Structure 1
């Protein structure tokens, strides 16, 4: 009997926050981003990532099985810790279909967007609820075109 992947058509979105290990350098981060773009493209995963020197906030979307596999690898990745899933949901269509991994960092130009969704002056994704995290990522993505 052959195994059939019956959930390949179920599109999921997962948003999570995590803390960067203090020894993650800008070079390490660029490698993380490049590897994510390659791996995501190979696994039909798209998404949006924002990072400052302390925190990651990422939304990924793709087939349910692929998102589950990605979650396990993210948990095992020692470049960050304290991964907390903010939201998972089924999607009817992708929100970031044109990016294997879009990226935005906090800058002077987008500071107002971060402040709009933050409960503090600094970016701390652990303080965002699912709606705020989604709003932040969508506005950052819209700025990137």
Structure 2
């Protein structure tokens, strides 16, 4: 029997949006972020996450098998719901090779970036095209404090 990571040479990216359950606290979110950083490092996954009190928007990249396993665990995670895949694609190289999970929260400093890609006054990742989501995540990750 072949190992599950036999397709590790196929590098994938997946971007999804989901709604945070109302009972997700700041403490819960910090645990989510820490858990993602540890698990992703072990599984060869890198990526970018943004979260406001209502929505998660995340792009993950890594071996196809690992991204599929992550998707199944995300679907079963009770801390969010209405998971919608915005885009999946093969990659030739990673956008965030140095981060097991980079994170950007909405702040006054980056508010203009969120507004640039939002179709409404309030940020709603469900309304983003795949290209807009990719550009938003790239701009947020390029912004340094």
Structures share fold, TM-score greater than 0.5: yes
Which range is displaced more, 111-120 or 4-13?
4-13
1:8 positional shift = 1.0
Structure 2 gaps of 5+ residues are none
Q: Equivalent residue for 2:94?
A: 94
Superposition map of 1:27-106 within 5 A:
27-106=27-106
The runs of 4+ residues in structure 1 deviating greater than 2 Å are none
Structure 1 gaps of 5+ residues are none
Q: Equivalent residue for 1:20?
A: 20
List per-residue Cα deviations over 1:21-77 (Å, max 9, x = no partner).
000000000000000000000000000000000000000000000000000000000
2 CA distance for matches of 1:3 and 1:13?
23
Q: CA RMSD in A?
A: 1.0
Q: Equivalent residue for 1:122?
A: 122
2 CA distance for matches of 1:144 and 1:11?
27
1:144 positional shift = 3.3
Aligned pairs, number? 144
